[in-house]
Amino acid sequence: MSQFKSGDLALVVATKTGLNIGKVVTLDRMILAGERIELDDMILNVVEDGWLATGDLLASFPIGVKQVKQHGFRTKCLMPLRGDFAPEQQKSREVTE
């Protein structure tokens, strides 16, 4: 089961090319290995389950890097940006009590 759901915000923490690391994206939908997704600027052949995301993103093309609105990311390359971060808050309460 995924720790994400459509509409969640996530931080890109890793990519094969190094592009988009540190960017915040909105997760559109889960994508599955074997899918072929046609976007305005490119075709994604999904090799590993992950997420199609929207944001101010970059993509690598044979002619160079281009700005795009959507891109696919492996789940392991994303960090969720929601919730109350309870473990960190609990640790801080323990120190002050």
**Domains identified in the chain, total number:** 1
Q: What's the pLDDT score for residue 88? A: 53
Backbone phi, psi, residue 96, to 5° = -85, -15
Six-digit token pair at 6? 């459509």
**pLDDT by residue (tens digit) across 55-73?**
999 999 889 999 999 999 9
Least confident segment among 2-6, 7-11, 12-16: 2-6
Alpha-carbon span 71 to 51, nearest angstrom? 8
Domain membership flag for residue 89: yes
Compute the CA torsion angle 10, 62, 33, 71 (nearest 10 deg): 20
Q: Which residue range forms the structural domain that includes residue 21?
A: 9-96
Domain membership flag for residue 14: yes
pLDDT beyond 70 at 40: yes
Mean pLDDT of the chain: 87
Q: What's the pLDDT score for residue 82? A: 79
Q: Which tops the pLDDT comparison, 46 or 84?
A: 46
**pLDDT by residue (tens digit) across 67-90?**
999 999 999 999 999 765 445 555
Domain membership flag for residue 62: yes
Backbone phi, psi, residue 33, to 5° = -50, 135
pLDDT beyond 80 at 4: yes
Domain membership flag for residue 24: yes
